[in-house]
Each structure stands twice: as C-alpha cells, then as structure tokens.
Chain A
Amino acid sequence: MQVVSQVREPLITGGKTIRDITEDISSRVEESPSAAWLGGFAFSLLMFIAGGIYLGDLLWSGIGRWGLNKSVEWAWDITNFVWWVGIGHAGTLISAVLLLFRQKWRTSINRAAEAMTIFAVFCAGSFILMHVGRTWLAYWCLPLPNTYGSLWVNFNSPLIWDVFAISTYLSVSLVFWYIGLIPDFGTIRDRATGKIGRLMYGMLSFGWDGAAKTWMHYEAVSLILAGMSTPLVLSVHTIVSFDFATSVIPGWHTTIFPPYFVAGAIFSGFAMVLTLMLVIRKVYRLEDYVTMEHIEMMNIIIIVTGSIVGIAYTTEFFVAWYSGVEYEQYAFVNRATGPYWWAYWSMMTCNVISPQLFWIKKVRTSILATFVLSIIVNIGMWFERFVIIVTSLHRDYLPSSWVYFSPTIYDVMCYIFSFGLFFTFFFLFAKYFPVVNMAEVKAVWKESNPRVYRARRTVSEDEIPAADKKAIEKDLVHAH
C-alpha cells in the first residue's frame, strides 16, 4: 500500500484506467502514419540529404572545405559537436538521476528523452567522425595492435578519453533504453493484429512474458544501470570539458569547467526534451500523461541548471580578475566587449536571464511560454559553446591567425545534415516505438490517480471529508 500526501499533484489525470494507458500509447504505434508525420519525416529526410550532399563533398575533398587554415575556423563544427553532446545528456539524466531520487514524474517523459539522447549522441558522433578528416581511418582512435610496431593511442590525451567516454555513453544509453522498451514491445506484440507486426514486435520484445522473477531481475538491472549511468553522464561532459580545460589557453583552462559543462548540458538537454515533448504531447493527445505538473517540474530544473550556469559564468569572471593573470583577464573582458560581444550577450540573455522568467508561476505553467523559452535556451547553449571556442581561439598565440570567424556553406550544411539525421531518427521513433514507457506509468498509476486511490491524509486532526474517509476505509480493508 502506498500512501501519497495531499500536497502532491496527480501524475496521471483524466481518470485513466490501466487499460486506457495501453490503448492511448499503443494505438499511436498501430495507426497508419498521419499526413503531418509524413510531411515532417519528408522534411527531415530532405535536410538529411541536402546536408549529406555537402558532407559527401567534404569527405571526398577533405575538411579544408571548412576553410581550416586558422585554428578559429574549427569553431563552428566543434560548437556543434559539444552542443549535440550536451543535448544528449537529459535523457539519461531523467531516467537515471531522477530514478535514484525517486522523482516519479519522470515516468511519462523518460522514453522520449532517452531516444532524443541517443539520436543527439549520434549527431555528436557524426561530427567527431567528420573532424577526423579521413573518416574511414577513425578506428585508429582505438587501441588496436598495428603494423607500426604497435604504436598505441595516447592515453594521456583527452581526445582519447573522449573516444572512450562517448562510445561507452552511447552504447550504455542504448542498452538502458532498449531494456526499458522490452516490456512495452511485449504489450504491443500481444495487441498486434497483423502477422508482420506480431513477428517484428515479437522479436523486438525478446520473448518478454512479464514473469515476477524476470521483473525482479529487471528492476535490479534498471536500478544498477541508473546508478552507473549517473556518474557516466557526468563523466561524458566532464571529459568533453577536459578537451578544453586541460589546455593552457586562457578562457579554457579553468577548474570549474567539468561541473559547469555538466550543468549546461542538463540545461540544454531539458530544453530540447521540452521542445519535443510539447509537440508530441499535442500531436499524440497525451495531455493526461504529460501534465502541467510535468512541464512545471522540467521548467524548475531549467531554472536550477540555468542559475548554476549563471553562477559558473560569474565565478569564471571573478576568478579571472582575482587570479591577477593578465591573459585570463583579457580573455574574459574580450568575451564581453570584444568583436564577439554580440555572441556573449546573446548567450547571457538566453541562458541566464530568460530562464529566470520561470520563477513566475504563470510563465512556467504556460505551454506557449515554455515552448518559446525552451528554444531560446537551446539557442543560448549553442552560443555558449561558440563563445568559449571562438573568443579564446581568435586571439591565440599566433597573431597571424587572429581573424574574424565566419562560417562557410559547408559548415552550415553539415549542421543541417545533423538536424536531418536527428529528426529522421526521431520521427521513426515516434511512429514505431511507444513514446511513453507504459510499464512504468502503469506502476505509478495507482498512487497517482485520485479517482482510484484516495488514501491521502496527514496525521493532523483535520476533519477528513466523508467521501475520502470511505475510500480510505475501503483501502484499509483491502490492505488487511
């Protein structure tokens, strides 16, 4: 018997039954694709192909296409890589950290968030592969025996740490996500009316039967994967921050980078989840599963992480002054007032100032405001990486490379390509996979539905309403 305090909002509204949960989620998979879906999917494919043409040229001709003859010319592509990796943090965070902290509102959004995570990491990975230049030799990053007398990779290099971190993160996230999908595939398999559907979902479900013993192991596996994913998700962006912070470049070498990058990643990831979830919620009519309470909670996390990022910006500025190191001081003053002031102040406005609007209850419970702000945050987080990378590189050690960065068409189209990649996968996911974790939502259904379960009381002597009293007595009878 679970007891739920009266101060908690229900997690599922609309008086849904467990049957309804199965029906509402599975039928989205079973329906044939809508016109809107086909349109969106076609547009994603278009971006994928259009960007892919330029990417093909880039791979064929070499990354000189990006105009790489000054260090600052890398800016756009490294920014994209870090931006995508950052976005790829929220899913695992929602499922892992919120699971450990027993925040039950995660159940309705974790599936889509994890899917988003994985696709975002695909995009980030695609940028790593592009950066390598000769992509077909990317396997040289792995410590494989070779014909150069076994010349190994350099384990002292943060870039090699990155290879390990991102590939581990991607594969563990995939496993975590798939383990979560298995029971839901079982549900869809048992509802399937077509032979192909039954066969496909039958194979995807790994022969799931929902036996108590399997659930027992499954629960243990989920909990441990969550426990391990939590430091893992921290380690990934930490190591991405090491790529910068282990150097001695002013503006990059600062010890707060690891936790501050992680906070920024969570921040942008949550914003992306909100952007996507608000659309899915509307199109799939999931208002009873992704309620205002869910949106508000996510907005609160956005305020918290946005403020942490703000504090980190201030700390960096303060310590640059406090350190007395001239170069550090210049790097930070140059950020705010140099040729890229516009990028810096866009970043400040989008990341630190605009999320503060969520302190107002009216704003954080407005769908439109949330949607707009979530996009603003993502723009801001792109600028954050741009600012860090460009402002430190455009005044580095060789004055001959002091130029003003402007992207080439190849830079822009590779970015478009990554969007195409991301949305192509996401559209496929949203159509053929259950977008909400049915099993987990069913598990919190009983304690979150006031119509069914009303044992909400405190030990104070407040008079319990007669209707509630009856319900509580009934529950107690069942409990014994």
Chain B
Amino acid sequence: MKSDVQYNLDERYVFSDKAKKNVFIVLILGIIFFAIGVAMLAFGGDHSAAHALAYGDPTGHVGEGGHGFSWVTRLKSDLWINTVFFTGITMIGVFFVAIQSAAHVGWSAALKRVPEAFGSYLPVLGVVMLAIFLWAGHDLFHWTHSYLYNETLENGQPNPQYDEIIAGKAGFLNPTFFIVTVCFIFVWFAFWFFIRKNSLAEDLEGGTERFWKIKTLSTLFIIFLAISSSIAAWMWVMSIDTHWFSTMFGWYMFASWHVSGLATITLTVLFLQDQGYLKMINENHLHDLGKFIFAFSIFWTYVWFAQFLLIYYANIPEETAYFIDRFQNDLYKKAFFLNIFLNFIFPFLGLMTRDAKRKTIILKIVCFGVLAGHWIDFYQMITPGVLKENGGFGFMEIGLLMIYIGVFVLWIGNALTKAPLVAKNHPMLQESLNHHI
C-alpha cells in the first residue's frame, strides 16, 4: 500500500536559474508588448487607438478634468484591473489556508505551503493600489471630483455639475474610506503573518497546539474577510459605475476571485511538480483541486446569473444602465459573452469527467482558460465604467498583464523558497499522504 512510500518531507524549493530565466522572458516580452501597445496608441497605430484618440486629447496628455480618453487613461484602467485581480488571487491564497484549517480538511495538508506562500505579496499590492489611487483616482473614480458635491457654486449660482445621487453617497464614497479599504489588505496580511508564523513554528515543535492556534486565527480571518471583502468590492469596483448599485456585487466579485485563486493554486502545484517537487501530491489531490475549480465555477455562474437575471427581468432604468453600457459596444459585448463561455461552459465541460480532473494537462488548460476568463470578468467590470465606449484591447493590455504575471511569479517563487515545501508536522499530513478518492 501507498502508506509506506517514503517522501522527502524536508524538501525546499530552489528557484532555479532556468525557472527565473523563463519568468524574465515573460517579463521582457511583456515590457516589449506594453511598449508596442503604448506606441501604437500614442501615435495612432490601430483602429481602437484611433477611436480612443478621437474622443481624447490628441496630444496624449490628460486633460485638466481628467476626462480625456487618452492611452494614459486606458493605462490607468488596465493597471486597476490587474491590481484588483491579483489582490484577489493573493488574498484567496490566505483564504484557502484559513478555510482548510477552520473546516479540519485533511486532504490538502500536503500542499498547504503553496497557498500559504501567496500572502507575502499582499503588502506590495496594497502599496501599488494606494499609489494608483493617488495618481489615477480622478480618472478611475468619478466620485473623487469635489465639484459633484456642492449644490451651489461659490457665486451662489446652482452648480450645473452637482450630482444629487453621488452627493447622497458621500458618507461612503470618500478618500478616507477608500484608504480604509486599502488598509483591509494590510489587515489580511497581518492575519497571514501570524498564521504563517504558527505554521513555521509547527515545523519545529510538532504537537497539535499550533494547529488549534492556526484554527482560531483562521476563523477570525474568515469573519473579518466576510465583511471586508464585500466593502472592498463596493469601493474598488462597484463605485466606478458610481450611480449603479447591486447588493450581490460583493459576493459576485468574491466568487470571481475565488475561482481565480483556486486556479492559481492548482497551477502553482502543477508547476512545482513539473520541476520535481511535491511528489506526494498525486492525482487524488489534483482531483479535489479540480472539483473545487469545477464547483466554484458553477457557483460563480450562479451568482452572475442571479444578478443578471434580476436586473434584466425587473428592467429598472438605474440598474439596467449597467448592462446597456456593456451591450452597446462590440468589444464589451464580446467580453460579456466570452466571460460566460470561459468561466462557465469551458470549465463545466472541461472538468466534468473524473478523468479530466486527474490529468495534469487538462487541468492546466482549464486553469489557464479560467484565469483568462476571470481577467476578462474584471475587464468588463472596470473598463466600461472608466473609459465609457472608448475601451480597447491590444498589446498594451497583454503586455501589462504579462508584467503583472511575471512579478507575481517572481515574488511567489521567492516566497516558496523561504520555508520547507511540506508542513511536516501538520497533524493532518498523514491523512493527506494517504488520501484516496
């Protein structure tokens, strides 16, 4: 039987030069693509850029009011998509560890160091997010303009730009509260820091004391996350379409993040295995990861559909406007349908059978597809609100995404080297090694 196979429980990840080289190739390609994209947009290379320029400042500079739809605005929107997307993936790494611990899950013990490595990236994203807000806040978030809130001008005349609805939201939509939501990232990081500390201490000490401590921390983290993730979603993404609102939005975005995070965890495990690590992870563990991606893709679809159907059915103008924006533009329409295809139909059919979940190649394809799909999901959540009908998709988006991926992989690869790859004293490790479906 399998139980007597000896695994190397002390193995450590070495971020080899070859692996690093591959990441740098992605990074450099990304920078090249990005440069091509910028050049094409700035000098009017392709159709979408010309389209964008028609509405923007022809010199490529941002206008005073920040409403010029130049390539810079588009860059801001792209930066925001990637930052929010990767923040979610990183946070889900911590969430995965926490939920496994709180629910006493045995099978995942052997791979727990992989999602555990994600958390260290959170503060970087927190800083990036704050920097983008300071630089690009006015372009991304309409509500940051102070003129919206004054009913009268200084001379006593009624302010034509006064927006009663946005003014009514001032209690939530203000820069202070935005900074509070960015602070959530640092609180998540703090939870991660203590969970990680206990987890590493467990390696040295053994016993079950640390296990229970991690469980308490995880429970507290989950409670905090349940509240903070929704508020963050409203602030970071829902407020871009400032007039629009949906009670489901927080859970919808969390569902999107969750699938992306699971796909990233699975891909990281698979790549580590390709490099000869984590031999104890067999097709049974992959099967469970695949099941998670399958199930939560369906969950995402459920949340997506419930939100869409209710707005479509009731047909109330202030809600429907959101989807009309996304239907009157060919590019957004494509994104809308690609979103459903890549995030529902593709993983549903791709991972339906037992065999598919147990084959690394199929898992890899589906994970990449799902990740692309959820990036598109964030694209269609953010771009139409920021750029109105002037959004585009080209080298700049691809290049920037590759840069984000490159940095993420470098950071996580480095984080993985910091601790043994297996939590060798985890009380459930033996269960995990003997896991069989």
In angstroms, how far is the closest chain B Cβ from the Cβ of A294?
14
- CB of A458 within 8 A of CB of B425, answer yes
Does B427 contact A461, Cβ atoms closer than 8 Å?
Answer: no
Q: Residues of A contacting B226 with CB < 8 Å?
A: 307-308, 311
Assuming the A-B contacts A8-B104, A322-B169, A322-B172, are A458 and B427 also in contact, with contact meaning beta carbons closer than 8 angstroms in the complex? yes
Interface residues of chain B: helix, strand, loop or mixed (majority): helix
In chain A between 310 and 334, which residues have their CB closer than 8 angstroms to a CB of chain B? 311-312, 315-316, 318-319, 321-325
Q: Interface 1/0s, chain A 212-248, versus B by CB < 8 A?
A: 0000000000000000001100100010001001111
Do residues B310 and A255 form an inter-chain contact, with CB atoms below 8 A?
A: yes
Stretch at the interface among B180-188, B189-197, B206-214, B389-397: B206-214
Q: What 1/0 mask marks residues of chain B from 227 to 253 whose CB sits below 8 Å from any chain A CB?
A: 100100010000000010111111100
- A458 pairs with B430, CB closer than 8 A: yes
User: Across the interface, do A254 and B9 meet the contact criterion of CB distance under 8 Å?
Assistant: no
When the two chains form their complex, are residues B427 and A5 in contact, meaning their CB atoms are under 8 A apart? yes
Give A456 to B56 CA distance when docked, in angstroms: 68
A244, chain B: closest CB distance, angstroms: 10
Q: How far is the CB of A238 from chain B (nearest CB, A)?
A: 6
B165 at the binding interface (Cβ < 8 Å): yes
Is B307 interfacial (CB 8 A cutoff)?
yes
Q: Do the beta carbons of A311 and B248 come within 8 Å of each other?
A: no
Chain B hits for A362, CB < 8 A: none
Given contacts A462-B206, A462-B207, contact A479 B429 (CB under 8 A): no
Q: How far is the CB of B344 from chain A (nearest CB, A)?
A: 12
Q: In the complex, which residues of chain A have a beta carbon less than 8 angstroms from the beta carbon of B5?
A: none
A254 touches B430 (CB 8 A): no
Q: Which of B77-85, B313-321, B379-387 lies at the interface?
A: B313-321
A231 touching B168 in the complex, CB below 8 Å, given contacts A246-B313, A458-B429 = no
- A residues near B227, Cβ cutoff 8 Å: 311
Q: Is B223 located at the chain interface by the 8 A CB criterion?
A: yes
The interface residues of chain B lying within 8 Å CB-to-CB of A248 are 314, 316
Check B298 for interface membership: any CB of A closer than 8 A.
Answer: yes
Residues of chain A within 8 A of B295, CB atoms compared: 100, 230
Do A4 and B431 touch across chains, with their CB atoms under 8 A apart?
A: yes
State the main secondary structure of chain A at its contact with B: loop
User: Do residues B169 and A324 form an inter-chain contact, with CB atoms below 8 A?
Assistant: yes
Say yes or no: A479 contacts B230, CB within 8 Å.
no
Q: Which of A2, A322, A458 has a CB less than 8 Å from the CB of B206?
A: A458
Q: Which residue of A lies closest to B7 (CB)?
A: A459
Asked whether A311 and B247 contact (CB < 8 A) given A7-B211, A238-B306, the answer is: no
Q: Which of A2, A6, A253, A476 interacts with B314 by CB under 8 Å? A: A253
- Residues of chain B within 8 A of A324, CB atoms compared: 164-165, 168-169, 243
Quick one: which of B9, B248, B295, B428 has the most chain A CB within 10 A? B248
Is B245 a contact of A322 with CB atoms below 8 Å? Answer: yes
Q: Are B425 and A259 in contact (CB under 8 A)?
A: no
Contacts of B245 in A (CB 8 A): 319, 322-323
B424 at the interface (CB under 8 A from A): yes
Which residues of chain B come closer than 8 Å to A8, judged between CB atoms?
104
Which A residues are CB-close (under 8 A) to B428? Answer: 5, 7
From A2, A308, A460, name the one whose CB has the most chain B CB atoms within 10 angstroms.
Answer: A460
Chain B residues with CB under 8 A of A238? 302, 306
- Cβ of B134 < 8 Å from any Cβ of A? no
Interface residues of A in 235-279 (CB under 8 A from B): 238, 242, 245-248, 253-259
Give the distance to chain B from A399, nearest Cβ to Cβ, in Å.
Answer: 22
B248 touches A255 (CB 8 A): yes
**B62: Cβ under 8 A from any A Cβ:** no
CA A323 to CA B47, docked complex, whole Å: 37
Which residue of the partner chain A has the closest CB to B166? Answer: A324
Cβ of A257 and Cβ of B168 under 8 Å apart?
no
Q: Are A460 and B425 in contact (CB-based, < 8 A)?
A: yes
Q: When A307-B226, A319-B247 are in contact, do A1 and B1 touch as well, CB less than 8 Å?
A: yes
Is there contact, CB below 8 Å, between A458 and B307? Answer: no
Minimum C-beta distance from B403 to chain A (A) = 35
Contacts A311-B227, A461-B206 given; does A231 touch B298 at CB 8 Å: yes
B248 to A256, Cβ gap below 8 A? yes
Q: Which chain B positions have C-beta within 8 A of A1?
A: 1, 3, 434
- A436-465: contact bitstring with B at CB < 8 Å (1 yes, 0 no)? 000000000000000000000111111000
Is B303 located at the chain interface by the 8 A CB criterion? yes
Tell me if B106 is interfacial: C-beta within 8 Å of chain A. yes
The total of interchain contacts (Cβ-Cβ below 8 angstroms) comes to: 127
Q: How far is the CA of A155 from the CA of B137 in the complex (A)?
A: 45
Task: Note all chain A residues with C-beta closer than 8 A to B433.
Answer: 3
Q: Which residue of B lies closest to A252 (CB)?
A: B314
Question: Contact mask A76-102 → B, CB, 8 Å, 1/0?
Answer: 000000000000000000000000111
**Residue contact B314 to A247, C-beta cutoff 8 Å:** yes
Identity of the chain A residue whose Cβ is nearest the Cβ of B203 in the assembled complex: A460
**Chain A residues near B207 (CB-CB < 8 A):** 460, 462
Residue of A nearest to B298 (CB): A231
Q: Is there contact, CB below 8 Å, between B247 and A457?
A: no
Which residues from chain A contact B168 at a C-beta distance below 8 Å? 324
Interface size on B, residues (CB 8 A): 55
CA distance A418 to B2 in the complex (A): 54
The residues of A that contact B291 with a CB separation of less than 8 Å are 100
| Residues B233-285 near A (CB distance < 8 A) | 234, 243, 245-251
- Nearest neighbor of B436 in chain A, beta-carbon distance: A2
Cβ–Cβ contact A6 & B427, under 8 A: yes
Given known pairs A255-B307, A459-B429, the reply for A234 and B206 (CB within 8 Å) is no
CB-nearest residue of chain A to B301:
A231
Question: Is the CB–CB distance between A459 and B104 below 8 Å?
Answer: no
Contacts of B302 in A (CB 8 A): 231, 234, 238, 258-259
Contact A315 B427 (CB under 8 A): no
- A480 in the interface (beta carbon within 8 A): yes
Is there contact, CB below 8 Å, between A256 and B208? no
**Shortest Cβ distance from B208 into chain A, in angstroms?**
6
**When the two chains form their complex, are residues A5 and B248 in contact, meaning their CB atoms are under 8 A apart?**
no
Residues in B with CB closer than 8 Å to A6 are: 208, 427
Q: Is the CB of B165 within 8 A of A3?
A: no
Across the interface, A460 reaches (CB within 8 A) one of B169, B171, B206, B309, namely: B206
B311 at the interface (CB under 8 A from A): yes
B residues 328-369 in Cβ contact with A at 8 Å: none
Q: Is the CB of B425 within 8 A of A2?
A: no
Q: Which of A1-53 contact B (CB under 8 A)?
A: 1-8
Which residue of B has the minimal Cβ distance to A231?
B298
Complex contact B430–A459 (CB within 8 A): yes
Give Cα A259 to B313, complex, Å: 17
Q: Which residue of A lies closest to B215 (CB)?
A: A7
The residue in A6, A234, A257, A319 that gathers the most chain B C-beta atoms within 10 A of its C-beta is A319
The answer to whether B104 touches A7 (Cβ under 8 A) is yes
**Which residue of B has the minimal Cβ distance to A359?**
B219
User: Digit string of B78-103 for contact with A (CB within 8 Å is 1, else 0)?
Assistant: 00000000000000000000000001
Q: How far is the CB of A447 from chain B (nearest CB, A)?
A: 10
B1, A246: Cβ atoms closer than 8 Å? no
User: What's the Cα separation between A253 and B317 when bound, in Å?
Assistant: 13
Q: Does B426 contact A (CB under 8 A)?
A: yes
- A253–B309 Cα distance when bound, in Å, is 11
Docked CA distance A444–B227 (Å): 37
Across the interface, B306 reaches (CB within 8 A) one of A255, A316, A459, namely A255
- B107, closest chain A residue (CB): A102
Task: Pull 14 A–B residue pairs with CB atoms less than 8 Å apart, ordered by A.
Answer: A3-B433, A245-B314, A253-B310, A253-B314, A257-B306, A258-B248, A258-B306, A259-B248, A259-B302, A259-B303, A458-B425, A458-B430, A459-B425, A462-B207
A residues near B (Cβ < 8 Å) are 1-8, 100-103, 230-231, 234, 238, 242, 245-248, 253-259, 307-308, 311-312, 315-316, 318-319, 321-325, 457-462, 476, 479-480
| Sample of 19 more A-B contacts, CB < 8 Å, known A3-B434, A324-B243 | A4-B431, A6-B208, A7-B208, A7-B427, A100-B295, A231-B298, A234-B302, A246-B313, A246-B314, A255-B247, A255-B306, A257-B306, A307-B226, A315-B230, A316-B247, A322-B172, A324-B169, A458-B425, A458-B427
In the complex, the 4 A-B pairs of residues with the closest C-beta atoms, listed nearest first: A460-B206, A256-B247, A255-B248, A258-B306
